[in-house]
Structure 1
Amino acid sequence: MSKSEIYKRELSKLNEIFEDVEESKRKLVEGLIEDAAFLRSENHVLKQIITQTGMVKVHPEHPELQKPTESAKQYSKSVKDYCVVIKTLSGVLMRNTAEDDEEYNKILEEMRKNA
């Protein structure tokens, strides 16, 4: 799958997840959703490179001499960034759910009073 296809798929998935979120909140996190899709697609490419090259270069004559590849360093950083973005987006979803629960509880209480 191409990087572009992964980006589009991730963007579509995240937009679907956020379709029931209040519009103002959804607009607020629109950039984060795009960033998450971008990071996911970049991570896919880096992971393919790492699969071919490995994460660590080992000196052929001195195996004790090792160093991480640049793609491994970038992948590690990018995964951490992706996790932060997803955690932030998840927090927005949780707040939205909590507000929905609050609204639901208010309606139930009102119904009990009127019963």
Structure 2
Amino acid sequence: MSKSEVYRQELAKLTEIFADVDVSKRKLVEGLIEDAAFLKAENDVLKQVISKTGMVKVHPEYPELQKPTEAGKQYLKNINSYSVVIKTLNGVLSKNMIEEEDDLSDFE
């Protein structure tokens, strides 16, 4: 799957998840949703590279000499950023669900 296809799929998935969120909150996190989709697509490409090269280069003559690959380093950075973005988006979703429950309790 191409990077643009992964991006579109992730963007569509996250947009669908946030469809029922208050419009102002959805506008607030719109950039985060796009960033999450971008990071997901970038990591997909990096995973393909890493599957061929590995995350660590080992010296052929001296196996104790090892060096992380740039793709491996970037993948880990992206994963950490993606995790923070998803955690933030999840927090917005959780608050939205709590507010909906509070609105329903007014009618009880």
Whether TM-score is above 0.5 comes out as: yes
Give the root-mean-square deviation of aligned CA atoms: 0.4
Measure, in 1, the Cα distance between the counterparts of 2:77 and 2:102. Answer: 38
Q: Which residue number in structure 1 is paired with residue 81 of structure 2?
A: 81
Measure, in 2, the Cα distance between the counterparts of 1:60 and 1:6. Answer: 35
How does the TM-score come out when normalised to structure 1?
0.93
Amino acid at match of 2:29: V
- Greater CA radius of gyration, 1 or 2? 1
Query: Number of matched residues?
Result: 108
The answer to whether residue 20 in structure 2 is matched with residue 20 in structure 1 is: yes
Report matched runs for 1:38-57 at 5 Å: 38-57=38-57
Measure, in 1, the Cα distance between the counterparts of 2:65 and 2:51. Answer: 21
The unaligned stretches of length 5 or more in structure 1 are: 109-115
Q: Which residue number in structure 2 is paired with residue 6 of structure 1?
A: 6
Measure, in 2, the Cα distance between the counterparts of 1:4 and 1:32. Answer: 17
Q: Which residue number in structure 2 is paired with residue 32 of structure 1?
A: 32
The unaligned stretches of length 5 or more in structure 2 are: none
- Percent identity between the two aligned chains: 66
Query: Deviation at 1:97?
Result: 0.2
Deviations 1:52-82 (A, max 9, x none): 0001000011000001000000000000000
